[in-house]
Amino acid sequence: MAGELIKAKDILKIGQRVEFYVEESNERYTSRIEDITETELVVAMPMSRKRVPIIPKQDEKLYALAMGSQCRYRFFTVFHRAGHEEGKLPVWYISRPEQVERHQNRGFVRVRVNLPVNVRLIDEDGTIHDPIVTHLIDLSGSGACFSLDRVVKVGTKVGMELSGIPGTGAIEAMCQVARCSVIARDDGVRIYHVGVGFENLPRAITNKIVHYLFTVQRTSISRGINS
């Protein structure tokens, strides 16, 4: 099932293909697992398109995708150091994750959150309306859903300012409305859940959002809560 968290020791194997995103780059780097210890993964040092070795900063967080036969598994890890395996192959030494997340496509799993957000609706003629303070219903690396007291037309542009994610300041994103659903509350009041997709969000920001959501999922599952 997409979004399921699985023990990493049951998934990660020597010889497995792995892809990495580093925090400040939009490029995907291909590697493979060369060795696994109690605390670390040893992976072949990725190269840029120009065959230049990629060496992150010490303790930099890395977003990783491990390839399975039926789906892919994503996880976050921390870069420890670069070196050579058996004195020959250049490698990374990175932290060994406890869990990985299963997903079957390139989409991001949406996670229920309750974070404050400011949204500005933008008319077709470019008029930007005053900010509306509301809260998120859910969030993913590719979009979000928030609550409003009015209908919003599909295709409407929205400026969003999101705060409350640890380790980041306010995140500003341009979005486009993909859906707008009416919700009838128990008190009879109607509200609207507005789903938007992020447009041109930098990979570094996406990584931070996904890392935060991965932590939320892991915490919820450890508490026995289905988020």
Is 118 part of a structural domain of the chain?
A: yes
Pair (9, 82) in one structural domain: yes
Is 116 part of a structural domain of the chain?
A: yes
Characterize the bridge pairing of strands 190-199 and 171-184: antiparallel
Q: Which of 103, 136, 169 is the last residue of a domain?
A: 103
Q: Looking at the predicted structure, is the pLDDT value of residue 60 above 50?
A: yes
Domain span including residue 29: 5-103
Q: Which of 63, 83, 103 is the last residue of a domain?
A: 103
Q: Please name the residue that has the structure tokens 């598994």.
A: 73
- pLDDT digits 0-9 by tens, 97-136: 998 887 655 456 678 888 999 999 999 999 999 999 999 9
CATH number at residue 218: 2.40.10.220
CATH number at residue 52: 2.30.110.10
pLDDT for 44 equals 95
Pair (121, 214) in one structural domain: yes
Burial of 175 (0-12, 13-18, 19+ CB in 10 A): buried
- How many domains would you assign to the chain? 2
Q: Which of 103, 125, 147 is the last residue of a domain?
A: 103
Is 189 part of a structural domain of the chain?
A: yes
Chain center to CA of 116: 18
Query: What is d(CA 195, CA 188) in angstroms, rounded to the nearest whole number?
Result: 22
Pair (73, 116) in one structural domain: no
- pLDDT digits 0-9 by tens, 128-159: 999 999 999 999 888 999 999 999 999 999 99
pLDDT for 1 equals 46
Q: Please name the residue that has the structure tokens 């039926």.
A: 70
Partner residues linked to 7 by β-bridges: 99
Is 55 part of a structural domain of the chain?
A: yes
Locate 75 and state its tokens: 């996880």
pLDDT for 218 equals 62
Identify the DSSP state of 46: P
Report the amino acid identity of residue 77: T
Q: Give me the mean pLDDT over the 205-214 stretch.
A: 82
The stretches of the chain forming alpha helices (DSSP H) are: 203-222
Pair (36, 124) in one structural domain: no
Compare 174 and 22 and report the one with higher pLDDT: 174
Q: Looking at the predicted structure, is the pLDDT value of residue 79 above 80?
A: yes
Pair (136, 197) in one structural domain: yes
